[in-house]
Amino acid sequence: MTRKLIEMLAFKRPQGSDTQKDFCIEYLHPVFGKPDRDGNYIKSIGNKPNIAFTAHHDTCHMDDGIQVVVVQNDIARLSANSTSNCLGADCTTGIWLILEMIRNKIPGLYLIHSGEEIGCVGSKALVKRNPKWLSNLDAVISFDRKGTKDIITHQMDHRTCSDAFADSLSRALGMGHEPDPTGFFTDSNEYSYKVKECTNLSVGYYSQHSKAETQDLFYANRLLNALLTADWGSLVFARDPSVVEYAYENTPANGRNWYDKEPAIYQDYIAGDWDELTELVAEYPSQVANILKTYGLTV
């Protein structure tokens, strides 16, 4: 069943690239039709669905083109001699899950956003337009999280999903997922001030944004089967989006910072090669500016 996913992983898709356009024409246009003015693909199944499932069609590749993907023991990765900087399972796996859910006519609002990797550009613009269907939503579930266990309850240190919803989603899927407050950010975060429950679900990739990125295909298949058989009517919607709740008290008095929650990841950035980081910022100034804006940082 994952043969299509492996084919999709071959496309390197930095935002605005020719390969991204080719990918969208090949896989998204036949299902969604043409995108909106900001590059987002939107499809509704069922009568006024109250759950949105999301992914994004750009990847963190540094250049476009086609890459070789190899599979061993149900793990997809780049070939040993690949010059690519990442696999792109973030967020190709999410798109694959959505396409399969649509093919199986699972009710829901399906959103595949543009420009997530450069600051959630597509989802931010879509929420700002405030489409009519937005008021119908009780939950936004992104398929854009590493690992195999997480249902994200907080993004950028603020709560976007209640523990009650996370627990009910875990029960509906029946795979042992657990609430996790250490989310960074993805498209569902952009909906969190208008929609009750906004989360990010583990889809089985690891070491995203790096040459070592892998995708667990066995888990992806298990997750797909769970999504196709879940009792979506059993979910609990408990969060009040008008109430801002933080995971930690981010004050100078206690010295907590947003990167403290996953030291194995974020402390590497702090102690990293600042010369390389400076070069990266110089090479991609507009993308960095968009990311900073997403964090709420002003001049």
Question: Over the stretch 6-28, which tens digit does the pLDDT of each residue have?
Answer: 999 999 999 999 999 999 999 99
Asked if pLDDT for residue 138 goes beyond 90, the answer is yes
- At 239, is the pLDDT very low, low, confident or very high (cuts 50, 70, 90)? very high
The pLDDT value recorded for residue 256 is 40
- At 276, is the pLDDT very low, low, confident or very high (cuts 50, 70, 90)? low
72-103 pLDDT per residue, tens: 999 999 999 999 999 999 999 999 999 999 99
Whole-model pTM? 0.85
Answer for the pair 28, 56: CB distance below 8 angstroms, yes or no. Answer: no
Distance CA 183, CA 189 (A): 10
Find, among 112, 106, 125, the residue nearest to 8 by Cα.
Answer: 112
- At 30, is the pLDDT very low, low, confident or very high (cuts 50, 70, 90)? very high
Average pLDDT across the chain, whole number? 90
Find, among 296, 166, 177, 276, the residue nearest to 226 by Cα.
Answer: 177
Handedness of CA 175, 178, 184, 189 (dihedral sign): positive
Distance CA 73, CA 75 (A): 6
Answer for the pair 246, 158: CB distance below 8 angstroms, yes or no. Answer: yes
CA angle 157, 51, 54 (to 5 degrees): 65
β 158-159/11-12 pair status:
unpaired
The pLDDT value recorded for residue 257 is 44
Tell which wins on pLDDT, 199 or 277: 199
Answer for the pair 217, 5: CB distance below 8 angstroms, yes or no. Answer: yes
Asked if pLDDT for residue 5 goes beyond 70, the answer is yes
Query: Lowest mean pLDDT: which of 67-76, 111-120, 254-263?
Result: 254-263
- At 275, is the pLDDT very low, low, confident or very high (cuts 50, 70, 90)? low
Q: Is 2 exposed, middle or buried (0-12, 13-18, 19+ CB in 10 A)?
A: buried
